[in-house]
Amino acid sequence: MHRTKPSRARLLVPSALAVVILSGAAAPAVAAEGGGSAALTERVASVQKQVEKIERRAAAAGPIDDLLAGLTKSLEGLLATVGGLLPDGVKLPPIELPKLPEIKLPELPDLSGLIPELPPVELPPLDGVVPPVAAVPAAPAVPAAPAVPAAPAVPAVPALPALPELPALP
């Protein structure tokens, strides 16, 4: 029997490669050989710049932004999984989490003039200040171990009575 649905292989790809693939910047090698290779190279470079910009923004994000990004990624994966189970033509709407407003923190003023310069401090030598370390006392002598008493002799096993002889079989 033939399968009615094509298998859906799920692969993990790096984010930059995923953006390039999804934006259509990646083309077959045959297309790169023609006159459009320069345009394709520029397109790949612009997508790479966008990916780097997104990564820099994500690096500057705070813990709440990281949490929202993780939740968004988990929801997208869940929607993709559930969408794969649905019949063809049925699509689920995307779930969007609310965006946090960007807060610009005020810049700190230059505080370098507030800290006065201190004169260098010279420490006196520690030769006469620190008392000499006392000698380590000798360990006390260990007493000799007492002698082990001799073990008593093993008693003799009493002799067993002789067994009666069995009668001969007829």
Judged by DSSP in three states, 4 sits in coil
pLDDT (tens digit per residue) in 80-93:
888 888 888 888 88
- The angle, 0 to 180 degrees and rounded to 10, between the axes of the packed helices 37-60 and 63-85 is 130
Please count the CA atoms within 13 angstroms of the CA of 12 that sit on its side-chain side: 0
pLDDT number for residue 18: 61
Contact yes or no for 45/14 (Cβ under 8 A):
no
Model confidence pTM above 0.95: no
